[in-house]
Structure 1
């Protein structure tokens, strides 16, 4: 590669940085684990590797006499998207019944794909993909804010076994919001002195969550509870 060719190599990398930054900014703003720097690096690495694959003819290696070199950049794209899966898995975690981080993992996967597109020199496609991705992350979030604010809630309640009525009262309070066929988990903790019930509730508004919280606090024998709205 000569100095005259350098601008042609740099432009895809700069486009990938801008694209990854635009997507990562939204995730950073939402306080997600993978934010601005992570998305920029994913996009930049994808573009860099794709550029290297596209320009395989410039690699420093000696071909055998009479051999014909056939470049297949698609193999690099497959490798990048397979490898990014391990990074995406790192931002997905489970809390109770809920799975969190799926949107961030999808944004990382999309960022890698956009980086590959820029690395292949398809600038128009990369710009459109970036605009659509940001629109989905930001626009649909704003649209959902105008909808009734309800969330599926993961609930966990603990009570002392010496208060047998506490469990029945807690179940009664939760019954109004329990999802049909909801899977319940039961755990005996604190050396057998405390019982814990966990289950998923139906969609609830903020006022309903606050009301259920007040009911659980008023039950004699309940030692703790947790109401966690799902938010990816």
Structure 2
């Protein structure tokens, strides 16, 4: 019974080690995503990596019982190629567009990387799998620090959320401050607190999309000093959020 239950070929200690390595490395990637509270976390990544390793092992060893010398020849890479195509469906499921920002691209790419980790472990390439896992951690933890130091385009939009007390004419002061700080306003949205009945205690939330040649933190600091402003938050509108 070649390739059956009584034959350890393809089901020995080496294959179990490869499955275990795929499990551990995929869990490491999943822990990083879980720590950042992303849509795909520890369980998703571990399942993707483990399943990819199993599929790779099946592609290598699962058809030994139908092979015959000089008659049947199989390419073990054919199943692995389908993993690369099929994992795109999972990656596409975590990408979504919210207003002007694309979210989930990094998560989708890391799901694809996790599938590659599992395939590498299943193919018997543990050193490459370990190196790729280290590369993932560098990309996720070191690269954001480098990106923050890059020069920022003056035309890149930023989003400001300003909360202030109603009835004090603060909106006019906010708009004037944007002009003084040399920021152009592209979009304005105002939301009133409907729960507060008294106008003196009502909080207005002002959403601004601004562009300027200076860091938006300068504008945030200026707006925070206006009497009656409760809070100011700033984010990049066109930033790709993982």
Question: Structure 1, unaligned stretches of length 5 or more?
Answer: 158-164, 191-195, 219-224
Q: TM-score, normalised by structure 1?
A: 0.68
Within the candidate set 155, 159, 180, 1:154 is matched to 159
For residues 212 and 76 of structure 1, what CA distance do their matches in structure 2 show? 58
Partner of 2:16: 10
The alpha-carbon distance between structure 1 residues 174 and 207, as it changes in their structure 2 partners (threshold 3 A), is closer
Q: Are the equivalent residues in 2 in contact too, given 1:23–1:130 (CA < 8 A)?
A: yes
1:56 positional shift:
3.5
Partner of 1:209: 220
Within the candidate set 52, 62, 72, 1:46 is matched to 52
Within the candidate set 105, 111, 116, 1:113 is matched to 116
Q: Which has the higher helix share?
A: 1
Q: Are the equivalent residues in 2 in contact too, given 1:43–1:114 (CA < 8 A)?
A: yes
Partner of 2:202: none
1:136 positional shift:
2.1
Is the aligned partner of 1:72 residue 2:82? no
- 1:167-192 alpha-carbon deviations (Å, 9 max, x no partner): 8766554454757xx9x5688999xx
The alpha-carbon distance between structure 1 residues 152 and 23, as it changes in their structure 2 partners (threshold 3 A), is farther
Is the aligned partner of 1:20 residue 2:31? no
Number of residues of Structure 1 aligned to a counterpart in Structure 2: 213
Partner of 1:199: 209
Partner of 1:161: none
Question: Structure 2, unaligned stretches of length 5 or more?
Answer: 163-168, 193-205
Partner of 1:30: 36
Alignment partner of 2:12: what SS?
Answer: helix
What is the aligned-residue RMSD (CA, Å)?
4.3
Give runs of aligned pairs for residues 46-195 of structure 1, distance below 5 A. Answer: 46-58=52-64, 68-141=71-144, 147=149, 153-155=158-160, 172-174=176-178, 176=181, 178=183, 184=186
For residues 200 and 105 of structure 1, what CA distance do their matches in structure 2 show? 29
For residues 101 and 210 of structure 1, what CA distance do their matches in structure 2 show? 30
1:48 positional shift:
0.7
1:201 positional shift:
4.0
